[in-house]
Amino acid sequence: MKHLLKTLLVGSAFALTLASQAMAQTKVVIGHFGDPLPYKALIADGSLEKATGWKIDWRQFASGAEVNAAMASGGIQISEIGSSPLSAGLSSGLPYQMVSAGKVIDSSEALVTRNGAGIDKPADLKGKRIAVPIGSTAHYSLMGALKMNGMTEKDVTLLGMSPAEISAAWSQNAIDAAFVWVPVQTKLRENGKVMYTAGDIARAAGFHTFNAWVANNKFAAENRDGLVKFLRAMFEINADYHKNKAAWNADSPKIKAVAASVGVSPAAVVPMLDGTIYPDADLAMSANWMGGGAAKTIRSTAEFLKSAGRINNTAADYGQFVNAEFAKAAAGK
């Protein structure tokens, strides 16, 4: 009887331990855009959940405007977001902070003109039907492309569409051009040509775009350890991609995992990844990003959006919304 009682007590204690561990695991909703990125290789095998100790619910959004709406409602805790909607969200007082740079956009976003639409040069864009996810980095780059050529949104027929809607409209010849990211951009190029990449516009006119990682203020304050581990995993996978790019080929498990996450072939993913810079620890903590540059870019973006009538107000100081604490700890700085 004593042995049986002891066994029951030990079993009960073990069960309580397991239960308490399960209760301690934090469920975190994280937003993303469904595009191919190195970190998505960490999702399939559960290594990101293992690194953070979180139970992660991945939520896909069509644009940064949708991310802002989700952040405003408290529906997500962490998300990727483009620099243009980031500027708009911070300017409107949304309760989140930038905790790291996620990617520096170059050819992964581009203005593609449809074959047969009669667009051979930038001036031909006037009066054409151009689709873009409204409020996105692609939208900001499109405004930059138009400004470079002496035009504004009023000189074209601007159509707000999600990437999926752009793809459908393109196949029906219902639009003449679109500014969008991969993988949809890759499909458009099958019957079109690239006029400008986001990188072209950034270099020519200073319309720099990037994706940031943002976290809800309350969540960040209460989950420092997990957030640091999350960013460390991002830095490590990004560093691996840039240092061992040849190994990230169509036959590699990592590329296959990324391909599976976005629904395209491994062979198609390889060139898609190549159009973006993914910050490792050193780049993220450099003067261009968490060392002060990010706040300056957010400010210049917000000022342009206000001048274009896209937002009503700008903040006095955007540095207050860029918190380098977590990235610094993740980088071991």
Distance CA 156, CA 158 (A): 6
Contact 141, 209 (CB under 8 A): yes
Residue 113 identity: T
Distance CA 97, CA 214 (A): 5
Q: What pLDDT tens digit does each residue of the chain (333 aa) get? A: 444 444 444 444 444 343 334 445 689 999 999 899 999 999 988 999 999 999 999 999 999 999 999 999 999 999 999 999 999 999 999 999 999 999 999 999 999 999 999 999 999 999 999 999 998 999 999 999 999 999 999 999 999 999 999 999 999 999 999 999 999 999 999 999 999 999 999 999 999 999 999 999 999 999 999 999 999 999 999 999 999 999 999 999 999 999 999 899 999 999 999 989 999 999 999 999 999 999 999 999 999 999 989 999 999 999 999 999 999 999 997
- How far, in whole angstroms, is CA 286 from its chain's centroid? 19
The pLDDT value recorded for residue 4 is: 41
Q: Are strands 177-181 and 109-114 parallel, antiparallel or unpaired?
A: antiparallel
- Domain 2-105+209-331 and domain 109-205 have a common topology: yes
Q: What CA–CA distances, in Å, run from 313 to 63, 92, 207, 213?
A: 21, 7, 19, 23
The pLDDT value recorded for residue 24 is: 54
**Which residue ranges make up each domain of the chain?**
2-105+209-331, 109-205
The DSSP symbol for 35 reads -
Tokens of 178: 């679109």
Q: What is the DSSP string of 176-218?
A: SEEEEETTHHHHHGGGEEEEEEHHHHHHHH----EEEEEEEHH
β-sheet bridge partners, residue 322: 98
| The CATH classification of domain 109-205, taken from the options 3.20.20.10, 3.40.1160.10, 3.40.190.10, 3.40.720.10 | 3.40.190.10
Architecture of domain 2-105+209-331: 3-Layer(aba) Sandwich (3.40)
**Measured distance between the N- and C-terminal CA atoms of the chain, rounded to whole angstroms:** 58
Residue ranges of alpha helices (H) inside the chain are 2-24, 41-44, 47-52, 64-73, 83-91, 137-148, 163-171, 184-188, 198-205, 217-222, 224-243, 253-262, 266-273, 281-284, 293-307, 325-331
The pLDDT value recorded for residue 275 is: 83
Rounded to two decimals, the pTM is 0.85
The pLDDT value recorded for residue 22 is: 42
